């Protein structure tokens, strides 16, 4: 996980493809939810370790929010919350 | 309405948002639906009836979409409590049908695993099986049922006969229902969720073969529709068409309805009967009902667009595109369409806030929607502007009258944004960072039947619920303007002797700082029925005959009676004032109680007073008094 290629999904660019390594709530500063709640919501939308992700689209202003393909679903979320999702490129 | 007296077994539909659950519900029950509110909450309770091929009557309950039973919103709380049988005065469901989108089963399977813990029989209906087959997704139903430990059937909500398998299974299951056992469900923590999702992924891998590539049509369309620039341009164009449609397409139908009610009123007016009776029927009942039904075309057109966009899967994308822009004012991305519709009329706009899931975001939108300049303000604005604002150009090319009109619209928008900002920061501070997280479903063609059922349901809700409240308010306002009756041989208009006139005089000390005379105060009271009614009332009070056509004469009369400062203050008042009983009634209905109706009334009244006060005093100080 300390691999140098590891990054937070919140910093990834459009077109990024990879796999979820871990959910790290300490990285989602300023997220609107307590860590345990944010983690559970991400899990409920399918952001589980091992899942394949692809960053498909981003908004006009500061590239926010982002649309992420997780397995067969597309989820929209803000980069602030996506900072908690640690991914490694494929 | 009360489910406990009906002995037919209750089957509850549960599923992720966008799984086609409502389409399935509409396909199974058709128009045999009842929409009510769960007591004390703003959540809709949708109950329908159907008969199985085996002749069994079933009550079908459409529960709000959710990803888990861990309730995060009032809607999801209802779903959780309903399946756990914890809702007061509600009979728990006998059977739970989890509806899953066959093209996207991953999250649905986790929900099934969770539902197995509620102690009631569960089965899984694989919806949109036709689309899954077309895309080359292969699902082994038997394997899936074996791995999950619940019966699995396929269904195609949108095709005739597509629900046969589901109905047959319902028959079979309901014939021999196991006893409900004690629920052993507890809110899962992160590690439990992880474990459940891993188990769901394992089942998925064992029973479902996905094609290598995701849905091509959706990703192609999204490349354009979610493009940061092109996507926004397309959204704005779409909204422009919608806005035009609500305004323009509804016009002939609205005129026709108005014509019918005017004719009916005149007809009643020509019948021999006591004057008071005639006035009650004509000005109270017929005019009251007419003023409600006249909004129906706008509501139907608006909801047609909303339902199509929602079924298409575009609504979530509109929220995605608008999130950042609306977020600045503390509004949710999805608030955009309701607020835009409110330029036509706040009533369909407020009803459209149903697309906003989060309760607080929805309430904020409802509270500010009436500040958008609705079409009923236009007659009042044009009357006063044409009477008081000189028709000349400023800066060489801009008409001053048009500029004032634009200013009034802009004031409303700025006011709405400011109010929502204040609400978010001051009252719901804890919810500041409520994250924006939602699924963007694959595009699907909307189905005519589901659309028709949806429109029918909306129309019925509007006519029945709002109609009764609005009608009673109309009658109250009529009574205020009619009683007591003028004395024998009275010369002035009848309204001058009524309670409304007494109120107008009584309000005089309060309204004088705004430059309002008692005649304006009186006109504001019937103007509560609908804003544009104030124009006609001013005509009546200043004894101008000729009704609506006499607007120009009214303008001349007003120009002689009022100062410019008074006219400007009245415009400022009309930007903010809660001068619309129908809107207030709809707020009461949509928020499920009086509280938010009074909050809206109170804050708008306060804003209107302060705005009119500032405008009048400033204008008077500048010599326009």
CATH of B3-214, one of 3.40.47.10, 3.40.50.300, 3.40.50.150, 3.20.20.70: 3.40.50.300
- Residue to mutate among B336, B435, B444, with most A CBs inside 10 A, is B435
Q: Which pLDDT belongs to residue B22?
A: 86
Tell me: pLDDT of A26 over 80. Answer: yes
> Hey, how many other C-beta atoms are within 10 angstroms of the C-beta on B244?
11
Q: Which pLDDT belongs to residue B42?
A: 58
3-state secondary structure (DSSP) of residue B574: helix
What ipTM did this prediction achieve? 0.93
Q: How many Å apart are CA B580 and CA B381, to the nearest integer?
A: 15
Q: Across residues B62-84, what is the average pLDDT?
A: 86
Query: Which residues neighbour B8 within 8 Å (Cβ) at sequence distance 6 or greater?
Result: B49, B56, B57, B58, B59
Does this model's pTM top 0.90? My answer is no
Percent of chain B with pLDDT over 90: 30
Which residue is closest to B114 within chain A, CA to CA? A44
Which residue is closest to B137 within chain A, CA to CA? A72
DSSP conformational letter for B592 = T
Tens of pLDDT, residue by residue over B8-58, are 899 999 999 888 888 899 889 887 877 776 665 556 788 999 998 888 899
Closest-CA residue to B378 (of B398, B401, B352):
B401
Closest-CA residue to B512 (of B427, B620, B395):
B620
Q: How distant is the Cα of B408 from the closest Cα of chain A, in angstroms?
A: 29
Output the CA–CA distances (angstroms, integers) from residue B61 to A45, B48, B74, B137, B459, in the order listed: 25, 7, 17, 29, 20
Confidence of residue B395 (pLDDT cuts 50, 70, 90): confident
Closest-CA residue to B64 (of B39, B86, B81):
B81
- Residue to mutate among B197, B332, B444, with most A CBs inside 10 A, is B197
- Cβ-based contacts of B319 with chain A (< 8 Å): 76
- Taken as a whole, chain A contains a residue count of 90
Closest-CA residue to B427 (of B595, B572, B610, B583):
B595
* DSSP characters over B53-81: TTS-EEEEEEPPP-SSSS--SHHHHHHHH
Q: What is the mean pLDDT of chain B?
A: 84
**H-type alpha helices, B358-399:** 359-368, 377-388
Q: How many Å apart are CA B363 and CA B427, to the nearest integer?
A: 12
Which residue is closest to A59 within chain B, CA to CA? B228
Which residue is closest to B316 within chain A, CA to CA? A76
Q: Which CATH number fits the domain that encloses residue A38?
A: 2.30.30.90
| Beta carbons of B194 and A49 less than 8 Å apart | yes
* DSSP characters over B166-213: HHHHHHHHHHTPPPP---------HHHHHHHHHHHHHHHHHHEE--SS
Of B106, B229, B324, the CB nearest to A73: B106
Which residue is closest to B431 within chain A, CA to CA? A32
| Beta carbons of B323 and A67 less than 8 Å apart | no
Tens of pLDDT, residue by residue over B168-219, are 999 999 988 887 788 888 888 999 999 999 999 999 999 999 887 667 888 8
For Cα atoms B241, B245, B248, give the angle at the middle one, nearest 5 degrees. Answer: 125
Tens of pLDDT, residue by residue over B549-573, are 455 677 777 888 889 999 999 999 9
For Cα atoms B248, B325, B300, give the angle at the middle one, nearest 5 degrees. Answer: 25
B345's tokens? 């009329």
Tell me: pLDDT of B281 over 80. Answer: yes
Q: How distant is the Cα of A62 from the closest Cα of chain B, in angstroms?
A: 9
B133's tokens? 């087959």
Q: Which pLDDT belongs to residue B34?
A: 78
The answer to whether B104 and B442 are in contact (CB under 8 A) is yes
Of B70, B107, B323, the CB nearest to A73: B107
DSSP conformational letter for B245 = I
Give the range of the structural domain holding residue A16, as residue numbers without chain letter.
Answer: 7-89
For residue A2, tell me if it sits in a domain.
Answer: no
Output the CA–CA distances (angstroms, integers) from residue B594 to B37, B234, B367, B456, B598, in the order listed: 14, 39, 13, 26, 6
State the total domains in chain A: 1
For Cα atoms A54, A59, A61, give the angle at the middle one, nearest 5 degrees. Answer: 135
For residue A1, tell me if it sits in a domain.
Answer: no
The answer to whether B65 and B15 are in contact (CB under 8 A) is yes
Which residue is closest to A49 within chain B, CA to CA? B194
- Cβ-based contacts of A76 with chain B (< 8 Å): 316, 319-320, 323, 436-440
B290's tokens? 């007419």
Q: Which pLDDT belongs to residue B546?
A: 45
Q: Which residues pair with B439 in a beta bridge?
A: A75
A21 at B interface, C-beta within 8 A: no
| Domain chopping of chain B, boundaries | 3-214, 461-624
Confidence of residue B431 (pLDDT cuts 50, 70, 90): low
Which residue is closest to A42 within chain B, CA to CA? B437
Tell me: pLDDT of B1 over 50. Answer: no
Tell me: pLDDT of B494 over 80. Answer: no
- Cβ-based contacts of A38 with chain B (< 8 Å): 435
Instruction: Identify the residue with better confidence: B286 or B575.
Output: B575
Q: Which pLDDT belongs to residue B608?
A: 95
Which residue is closest to B107 within chain A, CA to CA? A46
Q: Which pLDDT belongs to residue B573?
A: 94
Interface of A with B in 30-59 (CB under 8 A): 30-33, 36, 38-46, 48-51, 56-59
First to last CA, chain A: 14
Q: Across residues B284-313, what is the average pLDDT?
A: 81
3-state secondary structure (DSSP) of residue B473: helix
The answer to whether B497 and B341 are in contact (CB under 8 A) is no
Q: What is the mean pLDDT of chain A?
A: 89
| Beta carbons of A59 and B438 less than 8 Å apart | no
| Beta carbons of A72 and B321 less than 8 Å apart | no
Tell me: pLDDT of B432 over 60. Answer: no
Confidence of residue A31 (pLDDT cuts 50, 70, 90): low
Query: Which residues neighbour B122 within 8 Å (Cβ) at sequence distance 6 or greater?
Result: B95, B96, B97, B98, B112, B115, B116, B150
Q: How many Å apart are CA B548 and CA B192, to the nearest integer?
A: 68
| Beta carbons of A45 and B67 less than 8 Å apart | yes
Instruction: Identify the residue with better confidence: B477 or B313.
Output: B313
A60 at B interface, C-beta within 8 A: yes
Instruction: Identify the residue with better confidence: B9 or B548.
Output: B9
In angstroms, what is the C-alpha Rg of chain B? 28
Q: How many Å apart are CA B262 and CA B264, to the nearest integer?
A: 5
Q: How many Å apart are CA B261 and CA B257, to the nearest integer?
A: 6
First to last CA, chain B: 58
Beta strands in B436-589 (DSSP E): 437-439
Q: Which residues pair with A7 in a beta bridge?
A: A87
Q: Which pLDDT belongs to residue B3?
A: 44
- Residue to mutate among B437, B438, B443, B444, with most A CBs inside 10 A, is B437
| Beta carbons of A72 and B431 less than 8 Å apart | no
Q: Which pLDDT belongs to residue B6?
A: 66
Q: Which pLDDT belongs to residue B378?
A: 76
- Cβ-based contacts of A78 with chain B (< 8 Å): 323, 435-437
Give all strands of the β-sheet with A66-70 in edge-to-edge order. Answer: A7-8, A85-89, A17-23, A52-58, A66-70, A73-77, B437-439
Tens of pLDDT, residue by residue over B438-486, are 899 999 888 888 889 888 887 887 787 556 766 776 777 778 888 888 7
B317's tokens? 């994308």
Place of tokens 């910093």: A11
- Cβ-based contacts of B72 with chain A (< 8 Å): 41
The answer to whether B163 and B157 are in contact (CB under 8 A) is yes
- Cβ-based contacts of B434 with chain A (< 8 Å): 32-33
Confidence of residue B269 (pLDDT cuts 50, 70, 90): confident
In degrees and rounded to multiples of 5, residue A59 shows phi and psi of -75, 175
Q: How many Å apart are CA B305 and CA B314, to the nearest integer?
A: 11
Q: SS3 breakdown of chain B: % helix, strand, coil, rounded to 5?
A: 65, 10, 30
B455: burial class by Cβ within 10 Å (0-12, 13-18, 19+)?
middle
Instruction: Identify the residue with better confidence: B317 or B429.
Output: B317
């Amino acid at each position: 996980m300390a691999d140098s290629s590891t990054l937070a999904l919140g910093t990834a660019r459009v077109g990024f493809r990879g796999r979820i390594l871990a959910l790290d709530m300490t990285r989602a500063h300023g997220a609107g939810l307590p860590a345990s709640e944010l983690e559970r919501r991400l899990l409920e939308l399918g952001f589980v370790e091992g899942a394949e992700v692809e960053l498909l689209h981003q908004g006009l202003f500061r590239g926010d929010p982002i649309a992420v393909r997780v397995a067969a679903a597309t989820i929209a979320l803000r980069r602030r919350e996506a900072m908690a999702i640690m991914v490694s490129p494929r | 309405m009360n489910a406990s007296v009906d002995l037919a077994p209750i089957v509850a539909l549960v599923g992720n948002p966008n799984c086609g659950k409502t389409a399935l519900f509409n396909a199974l029950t058709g128009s045999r639906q009842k929409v009510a509110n769960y007591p004390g909450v703003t959540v809709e309770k949708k109950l329908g009836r159907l008969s199985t091929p085996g002749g069994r009557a079933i009550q079908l309950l459409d529960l709000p979409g959710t990803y888990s039973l861990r309730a995060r919103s009032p809607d999801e709380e209802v779903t959780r409590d309903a399946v756990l049988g914890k809702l007061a005065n509600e009979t728990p469901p006998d059977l739970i049908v989890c509806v899953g989108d066959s093209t996207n089963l991953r999250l649905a399977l986790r929900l099934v695993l969770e539902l197995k813990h509620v102690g009631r029989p569960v089965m899984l209906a694989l919806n949109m099986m036709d689309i899954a087959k077309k895309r080359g997704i292969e699902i082994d139903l038997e394997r899936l049922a074996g791995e999950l430990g619940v019966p699995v059937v396929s269904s195609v909500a949108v095709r005739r006969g597509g629900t046969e398998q589901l109905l047959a299974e319902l028959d079979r299951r309901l014939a021999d229902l196991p006893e409900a056992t004690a629920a052993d469900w507890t809110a899962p923590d992160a590690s439990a969720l992880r474990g459940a999702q891993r188990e769901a992924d394992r089942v998925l891998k064992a029973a479902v073969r996905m094609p290598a590539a995701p849905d091509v049509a959706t990703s192609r369309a999204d490349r354009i529709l979610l493009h940061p620039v092109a996507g926004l341009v397309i959204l704005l164009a779409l909204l422009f068409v919608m806005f035009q449609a609500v305004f323009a397409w509804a016009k002939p139908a609205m005129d026709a309805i108005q014509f019918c009610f005017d004719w009916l009123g005149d007809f009643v007016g020509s019948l021999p009967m006591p004057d008071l009776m005639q006035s009650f029927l004509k000005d109270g009942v017929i005019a009251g009902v007419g003023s409600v039904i006249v909004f129906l075309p706008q509501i139907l057109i608006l909801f047609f667009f909303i339902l199509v966009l929602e079924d298409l899967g575009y609504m979530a994308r509109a929220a995605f595109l608008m999130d950042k822009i609306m977020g600045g004012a503390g509004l949710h991305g999805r608030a955009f369409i309701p607020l835009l519709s409110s330029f036509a009329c706040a009533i369909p706009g407020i009803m459209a806030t149903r697309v906003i899931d989060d309760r607080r975001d929805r309430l904020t939108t409802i509270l500010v929607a009436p500040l958008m300049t609705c079409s009923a303000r236009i007659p009042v604005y044009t009357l006063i502007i044409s009477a008081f604002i000189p028709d000349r150009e400023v800066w060489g090319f801009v008409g001053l009258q048009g500029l004032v009109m634009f200013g009034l619209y802009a004031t409303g928008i700025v006011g709405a944004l400011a109010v929502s900002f204040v609400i978010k920061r001051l009252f719901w501070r804890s919810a500041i960072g409520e994250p924006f997280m939602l699924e963007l479903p694959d595009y699907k063609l909307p189905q005519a039947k589901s659309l028709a059922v949806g429109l029918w349901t909306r129309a019925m809700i509007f006519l029945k619920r709002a109609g009764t409240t609005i009608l009673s308010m109309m009658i109250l306002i009529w009574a205020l303007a009619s009683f007591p009756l003028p004395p024998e041989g009275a010369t002035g208009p009848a309204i001058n002797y009524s309670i409304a006139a007494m109120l107008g005089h009584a309000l005089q000390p309060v309204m004088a700082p705004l430059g309002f005379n008692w005649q304006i105060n009186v006109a504001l009271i019937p103007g509560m029925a609908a804003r544009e009614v104030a124009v006609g009332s001013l005509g009546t009070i200043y004894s101008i005959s000729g009704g609506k056509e006499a607007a120009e004469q009214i303008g001349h009369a007003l120009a002689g009676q009022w100062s410019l400062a008074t006219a400007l203050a009245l415009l400022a008042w009309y930007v903010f004032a809660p001068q619309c009983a129908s809107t207030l009634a709809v707020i009461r209905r949509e928020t499920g109680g009086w509280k938010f109706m009074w909050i809206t009334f109170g804050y708008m009244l306060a804003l209107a007073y302060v705005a009119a006060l500032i405008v009048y005093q400033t204008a008077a100080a500048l010599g326009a008094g």
